[in-house]
Structure 1
Amino acid sequence: MAEIVALDLEESSTGLVATDLQDGVLTVTLSNPPAHALSMEMIATLHRTLDAARSDKAVRVLVLASSGKIFCAGHDLKEMAAHRADPDGGRAFLEDLFRRCSELMKAIVRLPKPVIARVDGIATAAGCQLVASCDLAIASEAARFCTPGVNLGGFCSTPMVALSRNVSRKHAMEMLLTGEMIDAQTARDFGLVNRVVPPEYLDQVTAKYAAAIASKSPAAIARGKRAFHEQADMRLSEAYDYASAVMVEGFMTRDSDEGIDAFVSKRKPEWKGE
């Protein structure tokens, strides 16, 4: 797991990512052009950023973005190829790389704050996995997606985990077996992204979603996100029992009292986060 370090999330840049915090929304921009590849260093940097955001009460929503024609091209193939010269042919490096990347994707899912992917370019392999791991994804009409491991003599097995949990099995297999690029509209039809908008409206629409979520009770959002993923792997009866218990606890909180009173009084709620 990436080392946890303190980061100033108000407005900072590590050289690989830039962060900007405005009104509870932390925008994390991949800044390693042109491919914004998930190198070992990029994975560690993103993991540290997530860890810092987890403990920062000022952060309510994360937006994951990048600039240029590529959102994220997946792993750094040059970095991978360089380790072919290792005594073991690069096996230890690959094992560590994919383990760390998997931990990053799990960290996004387990983060008690929603993560929105803002995609205005190509997302391939682990970059597509990154989009699929986010809670929401807003794409411009210029966005493209694919899992091209099969074209390289391998298979996008770890991207498959996130992909198969977001789209139907037939659609996931179509992407994994063909390695072909799909456009943004097809990605929406498959269920990989929530909305497709003209490029000039991407920031506006993403900001609208982020602001709407940031206005809710952070405690309720955290509880709900955790429950969503927990119940997804349960049998129906078990899921309902679990979700009912979570719902009871949710409506016993101070934020629930505040939300109900604000609704009845026709005023804006003031969340306490508890």
Structure 2
Amino acid sequence: MRETEVLLRELDEDGILRLTMNDAKRRNALSEAMLGQLGDALAAAASDPSVRVAVLAANGPAFCAGHDLKELTAARTAPDRGRAAFAKIMAMCSAVMQSIVACPKPVIAEIEGVATAAGCQLVASCDLAVAAQSARFGTPGVNIGLFCSTPMVALSRNVSAKHAMEMLLTGDMIPASRAEQIGLVNRAVPPEALRGTTMEMARKIASKSRMTLATGKRAFYAQGEMSLAEAYDYACRVMVENMLARDAEEGIGAFIEKRVPEWQDR
């Protein structure tokens, strides 16, 4: 591993790409290097036909501790007191979070340890999340005078307003069991079952038509920003186009004929 390589990549025979944050000394903070490599990896995964599902994991005691506060603090020595550097990092972080949502491949977070501030934002931005029961989550910026405004965007789109506001206003850490209750993660499992559970979910999803998954993921996020009538109108158009796709014809035919479908991802 190169000294500057803070993200490891591994693609298996099922088309599951594991992206493992590997900067344990900095608790996998979203430094400029980490954000750059995450952004590059997600862009590559989006266009790589061999990738069917991406899993975002981490090495070390923390999944992700949020922004690298030492890196941000060092920028205060600039004449503008860090304004340009802060703006650059926030823009990079926002772009990575949006690229997860925009990626046509499902992205699953696999969380062991803590996920705080922008690290919690990272979990909330993923399509699915599986956590070890020992994992903890929080948006503690308020404790250091820095409200978690950007994490708020993803968090408030995953959990109810009052649950999000409680986390944002108190800065309290919540256990994985609570994160599962409020919908921040899909499952909280024993630590020894974390990878197995995540990979089982990933393989199940990877066995589906890539075209169908991309169609559905894009439509899911698009309709969420529409009024009810607009959402139904949009979803009807998506269904019509999906019905005309080769894999829908094959899948329906296979169901009727009681056989396993043969996907062509188109």
One of 118, 132, 154 as aligned partner of 1:126: 118
Equivalent residue, structure 2, for 1:255: 247
Equivalent residue, structure 1, for 2:5: 15
**1:146-185 to 2 correspondence within 5 Å?**
146-185=138-177
One of 20, 29, 36 as aligned partner of 1:29: 20
Distance 1:55 1:12, change over 3 A: farther
**1:145-224 to 2 correspondence within 5 Å?**
145-224=137-216
Paired with 2:260 and 2:50, the residues of 1 have a C-alpha distance of 19
Equivalent residue, structure 1, for 2:72: 80
**Displacement after TM superposition at 1:19 (Å):** 0.9
SS in 1 for 2:101: helix
Matched, 1:51 2:43: yes
Paired with 2:18 and 2:126, the residues of 1 have a C-alpha distance of 13
Matched, 1:139 2:131: yes
Residue 12 of structure 1 contacts residue 18 of structure 1 at CA under 8 Å; is this kept in 2? no
Residue 62 of structure 1 contacts residue 113 of structure 1 at CA under 8 Å; is this kept in 2? yes
**How many residues are aligned here?**
264
Paired with 1:214 and 1:51, the residues of 2 have a C-alpha distance of 19
Unaligned runs of 5+ in 2: none
**Displacement after TM superposition at 1:264 (Å):** 2.1
Which 10-residue stretch deviates more, 28-37 or 128-137?
Answer: 28-37
**Displacement after TM superposition at 1:262 (Å):** 1.6
Distance 1:234 1:12, change over 3 A: farther
Unaligned runs of 5+ in 1: 1-10
Residue 24 of structure 2 contacts residue 61 of structure 2 at CA under 8 Å; is this kept in 1? no
In structure 1, give the amino acid aligned to 2:146: G
Identity %: 58
In structure 2, give the amino acid aligned to 1:20: E
In structure 1, give the amino acid aligned to 2:194: L
Equivalent residue, structure 2, for 1:4: none
Paired with 1:89 and 1:54, the residues of 2 have a C-alpha distance of 37
TM-score, with structure 1 as normaliser: 0.94
One of 53, 68, 85 as aligned partner of 2:60: 68
In structure 2, give the amino acid aligned to 1:173: M
Runs of 4+ in 1 over 3 A off after TM superposition: 11-14
C-alpha RMSD over aligned residues? 1.4
Residue 12 of structure 1 contacts residue 19 of structure 1 at CA under 8 Å; is this kept in 2? no
Which 10-residue stretch deviates more, 256-265 or 220-229?
Answer: 256-265
In structure 1, give the amino acid aligned to 2:244: M
TM-score, with structure 2 as normaliser: 0.97
Paired with 2:146 and 2:5, the residues of 1 have a C-alpha distance of 31
